[in-house]
Structure 1
């Protein structure tokens, strides 16, 4: 970390804290935010004036390009507090790298590592009381960047705002999840922005997901845009399929996000002796596996839920229920990963970084 930049971060503390107004045992995910945020503006070709200040709304010109041309990217990260009250991040280097990959794809300026990491560390240090210890507790971290330049001419903005906000979180549990396999809609296309964490990627899937919700399904498993024969992601998560005792998951591509939880689970599974096959997975083989009983599990993987088991799927109006099994790979891997994140188990992978 750069001591030079850390000294340059202006810190404006809130006059009072709202922490005592928060019921930490009954948190709705992503609905409560801490006392402060980090902000840094890009103007005149350089990043300038990094500041940590009280969390509050801010003004933008109605013609700001984020509103008209969608230049907006974000990341999802978590911090954890151990029983010694130390705060730990999980693979922040991967989030930082992916954030800038998204920036490049959206014609936005890359954020220097010293701004990203020092801003995050200083913010977590200031609002450390909001990070609660104990299994199931975490701090969800949302770095994001928007185009703030004004004018409605269709070209990249000259000005941008990079911010980090913090939201305390409990264990993410959405109940039993049934999914609908997409036959028409796609999350992303070759040559598009599916591999970037661009805001528009998520807005575009709200409509088909709403249609699935009306049919009684909580999420959609997206298929490839060209043939709709290959399984890609589940909702906003990467997805794994267990056929017999092999885990299958699609390779990352221009269409599929390079999930940090995904790559962590793959490494952990291999270390546990589980066979992992990273390759295109066909809808037809999933249906066949469900019919012959070799399909044991489907689960999503992402920052918010870590691992989200799926109990069944529908394709061409035929619903396939998955069996209830005792030796669930999903639950085994989730427990091992969350134990590392919460510092309840040794981190032999070197993934956790102390704030």
Structure 2
């Protein structure tokens, strides 16, 4: 049994503006020699203009594949099959031609990749990385594109932007390269920015700088952000809503403050328990989640988290739970669990 598409309480109330992004029953199957790997398996969600949605989960949960599939960065046919709908401002991304998607990437949707070195051509100077998109999508002259590129580097906080345009990626620090990738993603003023693990391999000081930068640019430009991370601390305080992914599916979706205060899905609870706390005594052992994520070529029957869940019953091992909405006192949420975690203030036994 698959997840129910677009749970009612995750849609904007009647009369509100239409969502900027609608993802409806999205599925991505990667074809391997062992069989079809369901990297994204029936994901549905919405995102409003100016909103930040955090997508969290362990490595291998499908977060990055989801981000790339939403954007339309995939190769269908022998290696991959994609189904479902992704509506960006009413336009079905997956119904576009390759040329149509490239136009969309240049104007409406930008992406910050996990590893900046994989997004930057090592034999191209920084200036060329930026001016190519500006000239192609913005129709700027060579001189105007260079002036705009310098302005973008200044916008993302890179010192001496004019000199940096003449440098190669390897001549910049990791933090500067990440800022360049952000500048590239913002070059043509996108409505949506997908940030896939934007602080991976950066020290904590630079991590905060990059996240603060994204927050400032969002406020200035009014864009929506999908913030993909395996680190709950990265999305805490920065996302309006959080979607928790496990084994290709969303298992919990809620406003950020509600989810962090009172998780309902056992996987969400386990992730939060593994986060170090400042009030814990020194050298305290962190709680680990027993076991490993399932093989997505042959996932277990029933709930995919059941083999690792301390609350699992016989029904969990037989029937896959649907993602159902629950209207709480503070905000709407949805979770897929037969035996959800009881709220801390719940009465009774």
Which structure would you say has the larger RCO, counting Cα contacts within 8 Å and 6 or more residues apart? 2
TM-score, length of structure 2 as denominator length = 0.25
The structure with more strand, counted as a fraction of residues: 1
TM-score, length of structure 1 as denominator length = 0.25
The structure with more helix, counted as a fraction of residues: 2
